[in-house]
Amino acid sequence: MGVRAESTPNPNAVKFTTDSLIFQGEGSISVMPGDTSEYAILNDLMQVNGVDNVFGYQNFITVNKNFDVEWDELQPRVMEVLKKYGY
């Protein structure tokens, strides 16, 4: 299984797409600072230093970072969380 990191029009957001379904159903899930989700993977991502908020839908998660954090240091930590869940 693989994860592809794709840039978005927002330089503070990267879309991480997997080869398999992460979330069931037709609804999307957003987690903002101070919120928790029924999905542990999103809660774990929110605990990564530098992550501002996350958005998930079917086979991808978009991670928005704080403006003062660089993707070079944040992306490996995000990938560790995804790997922990088998993606």
pLDDT tens digits for range 25-45: 899 999 999 999 999 999 999
Instruction: Write down the pLDDT at residue 1.
Output: 57
Segments in the chain below pLDDT 50: none
Find out whether 78 and 51 touch, Cβ atoms under 8 Å: yes
Assigned token pair, 49: 């230093």
Instruction: Write down the pLDDT at residue 2.
Output: 87
Q: Which residues sit opposite 8 in a β-bridge?
A: none
Count H helices and E strands in the chain, helices first.
2, 5
Instruction: Write down the pLDDT at residue 27.
Output: 93
Angle at 75 between CA 77 and CA 33, to 5 degrees: 75
Predicted TM-score (pTM) of this structure? 0.95
Domains and CATH numbers, the chain: 3-84 (3.30.1370.70)
Instruction: Write down the pLDDT at residue 37.
Output: 96
Instruction: Write down the pLDDT at residue 63.
Output: 98
